[in-house]
Amino acid sequence: MLNRPVTVSDNASFLQVPITGLDELTLPYSERMITFAFANMDLSVPGQNEYRYILEGLNTNWIENEKGHEATFTNLDPGSYAFRVQGRNSEGRWDEQGASLLLTITPPWWGTWWFRLLMSLILTAITVAFFRYRLARAMEVVNVRDQIARDLHDEIGSTLSSVALFSTVARKKAGAKVPEATEMLDRITESTTSVMEAMNDIVWAVNAENDDMDHVVQRMRSYAVRLTEAGSCTLEFTIEKGLERIHLGMSQRKNLYLIFKEAVNNALKYAEPTVLRVDVSRNGPSIVMQVADNGKGFDRDAPAVGSSGEWIGQHAEKGQGHGGELHVDTGPGAGTTVGSRFKASEAQISLDHHDGRRASGDLVLWRHDPCDHIR
């Protein structure tokens, strides 16, 4: 090995007995270069003897060595091999039985099964620890969101409620004595109410319990019912079955709801519709929402389109902000349709509520007539 002969006296760990008496030889990974020397026992005409050999596990065919007496192998991979050699005498007859020796190259410490098992366990532990860390950080974010929602509701909400109540009481008491203060107190009450409504939307968006489409749909429907009742408008609210499983991020949920809220509010405030249709469906990986009315519409190209035109410019960024798109189709006397599309992912939890919805195929339809409460 390594261009030097090995005898029993040289290295007892390799050769405990002469190699002629061995059936198997085991070498460490560091000794992967080995040369076998062999000879034919027929000495009648030694110069005409020939040889062939094969190292099973490395070679697939016999190697004709002609009159060579040696076979060298280098850089053998760890594993088991079988070296076989056959000789042919001067009469041209091959010794079919020949000689053989089993050779085993032991792997290095980093290639052993126990090291691979140990590394697998370490990698598994690191992966589990990483995901536990990510989960802990995510739970911290959720807890912070919930704490912010509680603080906003308990502290700021109660303060704003008190301001609205005090301004209402002050307006009643000062109305007759100080008429000029009435308008200012009315503005305070209106502004406080508006801030409280906006804060409620923020609290709802921050609360991690609402991170699914089911809560979004419930809030959308509740808001639309309240406004259509006040505007004597029929509401048709359609949602595709199975959307309750969709998970929405806080930003997506907030932007979707605010676009919906502004679309409904603008339709009832400016379009004077008799029917308002809301449709939420799925198109591949995207969620598609449409708010359509049969109102008077408006001309988008007109120099002054009022609040509706301002709304288009202000909320186009919200459509892009949740990773989707926003479009508005309208025309004088043709009604208005506001569409929003964005991508969402499947959640692990599926919610199923039954509250008077009428199913039709793969859709669930709510129809609310403003006169239903009178019948």
Query: For residue 278, is pLDDT > 50?
Result: yes
Dump strand ranges (E) for the chain.
24-27, 34-37, 50-56, 63-66, 70-73, 79-88, 99-105, 234-240, 246-247, 275-283, 286-293, 324-330, 336-343, 345-346, 358-360, 363-368
What is the CA angle 323-325-328, rounded to 5?
155
Look at 322 and 225; give whichever has higher pLDDT. 225
> Tokens representing 324?
């989707």
Of the pLDDT bands very low, low, confident and very high (cuts 50, 70, 90), residue 127 is very high
Closest CA to 287 of 261, 338, 252: 252
Of the pLDDT bands very low, low, confident and very high (cuts 50, 70, 90), residue 55 is very high
For every residue of 141-200, which 3-state class applies, written as one string? HHHHHHHHHHHHHHHHHHHHHHHHHHHHHHHHHHCCCCHHHHHHHHHHHHHHHHHHHHHH
What distance, in Å, lies between the first and last C-alpha atoms of the chain?
Answer: 104
Query: For residue 101, is pLDDT > 60?
Result: yes
Query: Strand pairing of 246-247 and 50-56?
Result: unpaired
> Tokens representing 249?
């991020």
Q: Which pLDDT belongs to residue 201?
A: 74
Torsion of CA 246, 250, 251, 255, to 10 degrees: 70
Q: Which pLDDT belongs to residue 62?
A: 92
Q: Which pLDDT belongs to residue 45?
A: 79
Q: Is 204 helix (H, G, I), strand (E, B) or coil?
A: helix
User: Which of 26-30, 186-190, 217-221 is predicted least confidently?
Assistant: 186-190
CA distance 228 to 122: 61
Query: For residue 306, is pLDDT > 50?
Result: no
- Choose from 26-30, 123-127, 357-361 the range with maximum mean pLDDT: 123-127
Look at 162 and 375; give whichever has higher pLDDT. 162
pLDDT in tens, 186-197: 777 777 777 777
Q: Which pLDDT belongs to residue 323?
A: 54
Q: Which pLDDT belongs to residue 139?
A: 79
pLDDT in tens, 31-52: 778 888 888 877 777 778 889 9
Average pLDDT rounded to a whole number, residues 346-371: 47
Q: 324: which strand partners?
A: 342
Q: Which pLDDT belongs to residue 125?
A: 93
Look at 153 and 232; give whichever has higher pLDDT. 232
Those residues with Cβ within 8 angstroms of residue 365's Cβ, 6 or more apart along the chain or in another chain: 236, 237, 238, 357, 358, 359
